[in-house]
């Protein structure tokens, strides 16, 4: 339990650090925080701005300002977006499900296919399938994902007409139930693949290296000597130990997946948090931008905590310190 | 001279490195020759709009929706990509080496504090942080370089730290301590040179990542509006995705080749410089 306590202190410190970084980014911005909070300098009336400054204590010393900023943060008070005419927290929370669907399915896809391809590559090490898989992962690792997305739109949407070019569901048909789920999946296919390929390449390499290492160990030789089939050895005995590092890596990649969502959601007009961030950038809504950054970072911290605890549960060799 | 021969022998005995170096040299040549091969502004209209590649000898790679020469954009874009990637990596190296070497050398609470800060920067979604930094600093090429540097240094810091943790226990470091050498001299003249091969390998992969991230930023329209980059070209071609997909395809291929070249160089250098760490091939 002291392990859990330490982890929780770490989480609190990290969230505090994230808030401080954001506070200083806000200080760097032209104009003061009141201008930023009001949406955009010059659009709000002076009286309102003066009110904001008093309310947020911008006439106070820096440390007091930081304290006020932290208090608002822990109250989930991110201010009001005049561009969208609603509180920032509502605006962001409305967009979260779409992003979770996209990021979740792309992580799952990258993991499943990364593990499969990695195992195949390791079992055929040095032969043709391994060489092809390694070449493909080298290529995908070097390709800008948003460009893969655009090229898939050209092939699958424009030329073949198999998939829609963007959005999350058909607006006109107004489907419900299972038809709606299938419709969303049809819209999800290209964006999820776009997000997945880069990490698919990384995970394939990781699993391949891990499998090669594990397959050379004594217990695998013992398993072979006992006459256990090669398939069972690969997927049952070796894979278990080879994918442990992958779990932690996937956890730390979550932030990158969220960042990538800004691109993917823009390319495919997916109505999630990433697309909201893109719009906020164009509308110069700095407060909204910072709020998205803070919330995404906190989300990453919490998921990583969960991953660490899960990892400790499934891998008994991890010592809880 | 014999050293040069030895270097080129190393390069060509290793096909990954050879291919990577050749591709990279070709791209550097493109970047250097851009003002001579395509004098004039790559943003100028030179031929009828939406000319397909291979249909007009004057514009071999075709033109975009405003009649701008795509080949000129590719050449001039190579300058920006390489320069932005290079400077951003230098920026990241300076911060990362400083943080990583101090943390690894001193250990204890220095290490604790510095690594907590490093982890913090790794927790925040990198690409989102880059966007916010540009939002704060304004869309200029300097802001892009700065934001890429700020999101890239933690990787360097972690690598340098792990190298220092191992190297500082070596006998040669202990002897430096015994003869009374100052900490800073030990860090920068004794340990750092020994960590350079790993740092070099990482730098080329890091530069590929920086170039891809720059292209993503300018694709979204967050780059410097006055400079042409491959990402900008892809972003501007989005409107013609239905009838003129080559406008998007060509700069993307250029990006792919550049990042591939840098990754190959990194992998090749890794094999050449750290033969002990060579990946276990069966």
Residue-wise pLDDT for A189-205, tens only, equals: 899 999 999 899 999 98
Cβ burial A235-263 (10 Å sphere, 16+ → b, else e): eebbbebbbbebeeebbebbbbbbbbbbb
State the pLDDT confidence band at B281, using cuts at 50, 70 and 90: very low
Selection from A9-18, B209-218, B263-272 with the highest mean pLDDT: B209-218
DSSP string covering A225-261, please? Answer: HTT--HHHIIIIIIHHHHSHHHHHHHHHTHHHHHHHH
* Contact by Cβ (8 Å): B68, B228: no
Q: What is the mean pLDDT of residues A60-78?
A: 76
Q: What is the mean pLDDT of residues B104-122?
A: 91
State the pLDDT confidence band at B149, using cuts at 50, 70 and 90: very high
- Chain A residues touching residue B140 (CB < 8 angstroms): none
pLDDT at A183: 81
User: Which of B85, B112, B136 is the best substitution to test chain A (most A C-beta atoms within 10 A)?
Assistant: B136
H helices present in chain B, as ranges = 2-12, 15-37, 70-106, 108-123, 126-137, 141-167, 171-178, 183-185, 192-220, 230-237, 246-273
Q: How many CB pairs under 8 A join A and B?
A: 140
Residue A22 has pLDDT above 80, yes or no: yes
Task: Output the six-digit token pair for A93.
Answer: 């929370």
pLDDT at B110: 92
State the pLDDT confidence band at B251, using cuts at 50, 70 and 90: very high
State the pLDDT confidence band at A184, using cuts at 50, 70 and 90: confident
pLDDT at A178: 80
> How many CB atoms are located within 10 Å of the residue A174 CB?
9
Residue A161 has pLDDT above 90, yes or no: no
- Chain A residues touching residue B212 (CB < 8 angstroms): 142, 144
- Chain A residues touching residue B137 (CB < 8 angstroms): 28
H helices present in A175-243, as ranges = 177-215, 218-225, 230-232, 239-242
Which A residues in the span 34-93 are in contact with B, Cβ-Cβ below 8 Å?
A: none
ipTM of the complex: 0.86
Residue A40 has pLDDT above 60, yes or no: no
Residue B276 has pLDDT above 80, yes or no: no
Q: For B51, which DSSP code?
A: P
CA Rg value for chain B: 22
Which A residues in the span 213-272 are in contact with B, Cβ-Cβ below 8 Å?
A: 213, 216, 252, 255-256, 258-260, 262-263, 266
Q: Which of A18, A263, A266 comes nearest B120 by C-beta?
A: A18
pLDDT at A56: 62
pLDDT at B279: 45
Name which residue leads in pLDDT, A49 or A119. Answer: A119
Residue B58 has pLDDT above 90, yes or no: no
User: Which of A11, A23, A150, A266 is the best substitution to test chain B (most B C-beta atoms within 10 A)?
Assistant: A150
Q: Which of A13, A142, A277 comes nearest B256 by C-beta?
A: A142
Please, which contacts does A158-165 make with residues 24 or more away whose CB atoms are closer than 8 Å? A158/B241, A158/B242, A158/B245, A163/A187, A163/A189, A163/A190, A165/A268
Q: For A51, which DSSP code?
A: H
Report the chain A residue with the minimal C-alpha distance to residue B233.
A147
Give dist(CA B98, CA A140) in Å, integer: 32
Q: For residue range A232-281, list pLDDT tens digits in order.
A: 888 877 888 777 778 888 888 898 899 999 999 999 988 999 999 998 88
* A25-39, A129-143, B84-98: the lowest-pLDDT one: A25-39
Selection from A66-80, B82-96, B260-274 with the highest mean pLDDT: B82-96
Q: For residue range B59-74, list pLDDT tens digits in order.
A: 788 777 787 888 888 9
Q: Which of A146, A296, A300 comes nearest B216 by C-beta?
A: A146
Alpha-carbon distance values, A10 to A1, A118, A301 (Å) = 14, 34, 10
Q: What is the mean pLDDT of residues A61-90?
A: 77
Q: What is the mean pLDDT of residues A124-145?
A: 88
Tell me which residue range forms the domain holding B229.
Answer: 2-47+56-281
Q: What is the domain-level CATH number for residue B186?
A: 1.10.3720.10
Q: For residue range A270-319, list pLDDT tens digits in order.
A: 899 999 999 888 887 888 888 899 889 989 999 988 888 887 777 766 65
Mean pLDDT of chain A: 82
The reply to whether residue B282 touches residue A213, judged by beta carbons under 8 angstroms, is no
* A35-39, A163-167, A299-303: the lowest-pLDDT one: A35-39
Name which residue leads in pLDDT, A2 or A200. Answer: A200
Q: Which of B208, B212, B241 comes nearest A158 by C-beta?
A: B241
pLDDT at B38: 81
In 3D space, the residue among A118, A224, A122, A134 whose CA is nearest the CA of residue B282 turns out to be A122
Q: For A125, which DSSP code?
A: T
State the pLDDT confidence band at A10, using cuts at 50, 70 and 90: confident
Instruction: Please give the model's pTM, rounded to 2 decimal places.
Output: 0.87
pLDDT at B144: 93
Q: Which of B123, B124, B216 comes nearest A144 by C-beta?
A: B216
* Minimal CA separation from B264 to chain A, in Å: 9
pLDDT at A14: 87
Number of compact structural domains in chain B: 1
Residue B282 has pLDDT above 50, yes or no: no
Q: Is the dihedral of CA A65, A71, A74, A80 positive or negative?
A: negative
Q: What is the mean pLDDT of residues A12-34?
A: 79
Percent of chain A's residues with pLDDT above 90: 20
pLDDT at A57: 62
């Amino acid at each position: 339990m002291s392990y859990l306590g330490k982890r929780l202190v770490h989480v609190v410190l990290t969230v505090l650090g994230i808030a401080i970084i954001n506070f200083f980014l806000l200080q760097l911005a032209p104009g003061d925080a009141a201008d930023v909070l009001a949406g955009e300098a010059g659009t709000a009336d002076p009286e309102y701005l003066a009110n904001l400054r008093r309310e947020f204590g911008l006439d106070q010393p820096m440390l007091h300002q930081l304290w006020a900023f932290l208090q608002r943060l822990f109250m989930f008070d991110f201010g009001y977006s005049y561009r969208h005419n609603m509180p920032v927290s509502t605006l962001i929370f409305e967009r979260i499900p779409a992003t979770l669907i996209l990021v979740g399915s792309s992580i799952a896809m990258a993991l499943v296919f990364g593990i499969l391809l990695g195992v195949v590559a390791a079992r055929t090490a040095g032969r043709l399938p391994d060489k092809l898989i390694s070449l493909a992962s080298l290529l995908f690792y070097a390709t800008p994902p948003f460009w893969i997305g655009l090229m898939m739109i050209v092939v699958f949407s424009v030329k073949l007409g198999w998939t829609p070019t963007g959005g999350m569901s058909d607006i006109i048909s107004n489907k419900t139930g299972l038809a709606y789920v299938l419709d969303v999946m049809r819209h999800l296919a290209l964006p999820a693949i776009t997000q997945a390929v880069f990490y698919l390449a990384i995970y394939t390499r990781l699993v391949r290296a891990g499998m090669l290492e594990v397959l050379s160990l004594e217990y695998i030789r013992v398993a072979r000597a006992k006459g256990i089939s090669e398939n069972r050895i690969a997927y049952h005995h070796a894979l278990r130990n080879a994918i442990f590092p992958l779990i932690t890596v996937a956890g730390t990649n979550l932030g990158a997946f969220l960042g990538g969502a800004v691109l993917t959601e823009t390319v495919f007009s997916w109505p999630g948090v990433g697309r909201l961030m893109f719009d906020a950038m164009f509308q110069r809504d700095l407060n909204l931008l910072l709020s998205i950054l803070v919330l995404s970072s906190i989300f990453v911290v919490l998921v990583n905590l969960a991953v660490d605890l899960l990892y400790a549960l499934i891998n008994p060799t991890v010592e809880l310190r | 001279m014999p050293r040069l021969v030895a270097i080129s022998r190393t390069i060509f005995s290793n096909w990954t490195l050879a291919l990577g170096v050749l591709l990279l040299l070709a791209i550097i040549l493109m970047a250097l020759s851009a003002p001579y091969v395509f004098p004039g502004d790559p943003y100028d209209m030179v031929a009828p709009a939406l000319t397909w590649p291979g249909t007009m000898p004057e514009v071999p790679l075709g033109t975009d929706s405003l009649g701008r020469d795509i080949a000129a954009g590719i050449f001039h874009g190579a300058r920006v990509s390489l320069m932005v990637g290079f400077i951003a990596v230098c920026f990241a190296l300076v911060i990362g080496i400083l943080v990583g070497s101090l943390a690894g050398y001193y250990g204890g609470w220095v290490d604790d504090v510095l690594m907590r800060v490093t982890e913090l920067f790794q927790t925040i979604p990198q690409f989102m942080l880059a966007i916010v930094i540009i939002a704060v600093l304004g869309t200029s090429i300097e802001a892009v370089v700065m934001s890429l540097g700020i999101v890239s240094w933690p990787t360097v810091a972690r690598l340098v730290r792990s190298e220092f943790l191992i190297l500082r226990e070596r006998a040669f470091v202990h002897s430096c301590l015994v003869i009374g050498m100052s900490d800073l001299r030990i860090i920068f003249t004794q340990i750092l040179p020994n960590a350079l091969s790993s740092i070099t390998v990482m730098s080329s992969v890091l530069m590929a990542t920086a170039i891809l991230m720059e292209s993503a930023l300018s694709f979204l329209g967050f780059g410097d509006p006055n400079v042409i980059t491959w990402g900008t070209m892809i972003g501007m071609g989005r409107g013609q995705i239905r009838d003129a997909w080559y406008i998007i395809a060509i700069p993307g291929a250029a990006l792919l080749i550049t990042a591939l070249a840098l990754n190959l160089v990194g992998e090749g250098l890794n094999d050449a410089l750290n033969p002990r760490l060579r990946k276990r091939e069966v």
